């Protein structure tokens, strides 16, 4: 297991939730101390694993395809609504 801590200050989830990195609190940056701090704070706990560059690129490619499908679905529904309203 890697003992390096990612110190990016924020994460934005797919649901739009903003999560602050506990590594920015005034504690030692040892994983066990960060976990203890995170579980003592209010709010839901999010633990994650940083992706490798290749994994991140793969995820982005898949997400882009998913975004295109999601946008096409939304645009299609809006077009139908506007066509009905125009009648």
Instruction: Give the pTM.
Output: 0.55
Sketch the domain layout of the chain as residue ranges.
Answer: 1-49, 51-87
Q: Among 7, 84, 19, which residue's Cα sits nearest to residue 50?
A: 7
What whole-number distance in Å separates Cα of residue 44 and Cα of residue 82?
A: 40
SS3 call for 19: strand
Element (H or E) spanning 60, and its range?
A: helix 53-86
Report the Cα–Cα distance between both ends of the chain, in Å, rounded: 62
Mean pLDDT of 34-44: 88
Mean pLDDT of 49-60: 87
């Amino acid at each position: 297991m890697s003992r390096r801590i990612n110190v990016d200050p924020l994460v934005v989830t797919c649901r739009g939730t903003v999560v602050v990195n506990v590594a920015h609190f005034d504690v030692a940056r040892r994983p066990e101390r960060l976990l203890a701090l995170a579980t003592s704070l209010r709010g839901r706990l999010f633990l994650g694993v940083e992706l490798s560059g290749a994994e991140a690129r793969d995820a982005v490619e898949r997400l882009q395809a998913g975004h295109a499908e999601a946008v096409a679905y939304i645009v299609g529904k809006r077009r139908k609504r506007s066509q009905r309203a125009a009648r």
